[in-house]
Amino acid sequence: MVDGLTKDNSFDLMTFRDISTFEMEEDDGKVKVLQCNERYHLRLHGFLNP
C-alpha cells in the first residue's frame, strides 16, 4: 500500500473525468507528484436497446 495525499480533486460530470493531484514520498525522501486524469465508463443495460 502507498501512503500519499490527494488534493485539487475535481469531477467533470459531462465527461465522467476525475482530475486530481497525488503526492507521495519515495523511499529516498524525495516527493513525487502525479497529475491524475481518470475516465469512468458506464454500461447502461437496456437503455439504448430495450
Instruction: List pLDDT tens digits, range 5-46.
Output: 889 999 999 999 999 999 999 989 999 999 999 999 887 777
Residue with the larger pLDDT of the pair 46 and 3: 3
pTM of the predicted protein model: 0.66
20 pairs with which residues across the strands? 36
pLDDT of res. 17? 96
Contacts of 23 (CB under 8 A, 6+ apart): 4, 5, 7, 31, 32, 33, 34
* Per-residue pLDDT at 48: 64
Four-residue CA torsion sign, 24, 27, 30, 32: negative
Residue 16's SS3 state is coil
Question: pLDDT confidence of 1, banded at 50, 70, 90?
Answer: low
